[in-house]
Amino acid sequence: MQPRACVTAGVLSVLLLLFSEPADTVQQTPGKERRGNDMGEVEKARAAGPSGGDSIFTKIYSGAIPASFVHKDDKCFAIKDANPQAPVHLLVIPIKPIPALSAAAPEDLELLGHLMLTAKKVAAEAGLADNGYRIVINDGRDGAQSVHHIHVHVLGGRQMKWPPG
């Protein structure tokens, strides 16, 4: 199996799975199996907390973890999500490590606007401008935030459902 060049919020869990003993498979939903020690995003968010160190996104930006960038500028970068939830699933990540949207300060206003405009740009470059796309920012445990470094999900390439969660 070839390793993926792109990473996302679930990478830490994947690394833990790779270096832990395999578990029996369990039934998640009819027709879909998952490993017994494999967590979904909600479970990862419940288990996650601010690490106090570099986030996985900081490590990606620094080059410590390899990734294919679809966008990079002086304020943010974008990568393909390694666990896509739609045909197109991109992550727009600020270089400044803001732990969550709820932790953003008034001085982050320009950066947050830049993230939105960058999300628009990468969505258009991915061919999503004509039919639309969804922007998601998870915040906190109940918002299923599993990496404590704010990031914008850009999802598209199919009809989204409503309500979303």
Q: Active-site residue numbers?
A: 151
Torsion of CA 80, 14, 102, 125, to 10 degrees: 0
> Rounded to an integer, what distance in angstroms lies between the CA atom of residue 30 and that of residue 157?
25
> Rounded to an integer, what distance in angstroms lies between the CA atom of residue 58 and that of residue 132?
29
Characterize the bridge pairing of strands 76-80 and 25-29. Answer: unpaired
Nearest to 125 by CA among 92, 97, 162: 92
Contacts with 27 (C-beta within 8 Å, 6 or more apart), sequence order: 33
Question: In this structure, what token pair is assigned to residue 114?
Answer: 């830049």
